[in-house]
Structures are given as structure tokens and as C-alpha cells.
Amino acid sequence: MVPTFRIREAADLIGVSDDTLRRWADGGRIETTTDASGRLAVDGAELARFACELAELGDRTDGRAVVGHSVRNRFSGLVSRVLRDTVMAQVEIQAGPHRFVSLLSREAADELGLEPGVLAVAAIKATNVSVEIPAIR
């Protein structure tokens, strides 16, 4: 069962204000629904699709370029794609502009209930981490 996210939760997941997400919904840019309480919400699969679209477009809603960035090892995001075979599963998570791909056993993916639209955390363990600062325009 794919979850639904209230507007505020959905906005947090894609890195915009809830007002921005409401404007996009009013303008038809993203489909909305209502949750069990009758509040405006976004279907998880629709939110995952939209998050991928934003990342592909490099959509910057605040109009400012990033001048410094250092990320932590845990990224909350939405599962955007799951490919399963008999033994393994390839899981893609869209966390803001970042796309993570993980290979895990099909059994683990099934036990976690991983499907497009499910909220998940990509936990990264790396021996080499770089920090970049882009040039100022």
C-alpha cells in the first residue's frame, strides 16, 4: 500500500515550502488527493515521480545558486523505482536533487515493503567523501 503525504510532509521531502507545493498543485503541476481526514495530500508514487522530475530539471525554487554544501550520510527520500528479479532488487531513492541506487536481496526489499512512493532513508557508508564549493557567478 503506497502512503499519502500531507502537503507539509510532501513539501519537506522535496525541499520546498508548503506554500510552493500548494501553488504547484493549484496550477496542475502535481496531482493531489485527500487523506483519511479529508486534508489535502499527495500520493507517494506521484510525489516520487514529481521529485524525479524536479531533479531532472534542476529546479531551483528559491532562485539562488548553492555556494557551499556538505552532506551527511543519511538521506530521507522517496523510493522512485524498484526492479526485482528472483534473487536481487535494485532500489532507487530520490532525496531532493540526489538519486541513490541500492542493490539488495529481493527478500530484504520485500520485507521492507519497498515500492515507488514509500518513504525511505538512504544510509551511505563511504571511505572517501568529498566536499565541493561551486564558483560564485
pLDDT of residue 61: 46
User: How many C-beta atoms surround the C-beta of residue 109 within 10 A?
Assistant: 21
pLDDT of residue 26: 94
Measured CA to CA, the distance from residue 24 to residue 53 in angstroms comes to 13
CATH class of 4-57: mainly alpha
For the chain, which residues make up each domain, given as ranges? 4-57
Measured CA to CA, the distance from residue 132 to residue 125 in angstroms comes to 18
Note down pLDDT in tens along the chain; length 137 residues: 678 999 999 998 888 889 999 999 999 999 999 988 999 999 999 999 998 888 776 644 444 555 555 555 778 889 999 999 999 999 999 988 889 999 999 999 999 999 999 988 888 877 666 667 676 64
pLDDT of residue 98: 87
Measured CA to CA, the distance from residue 48 to residue 105 in angstroms comes to 22
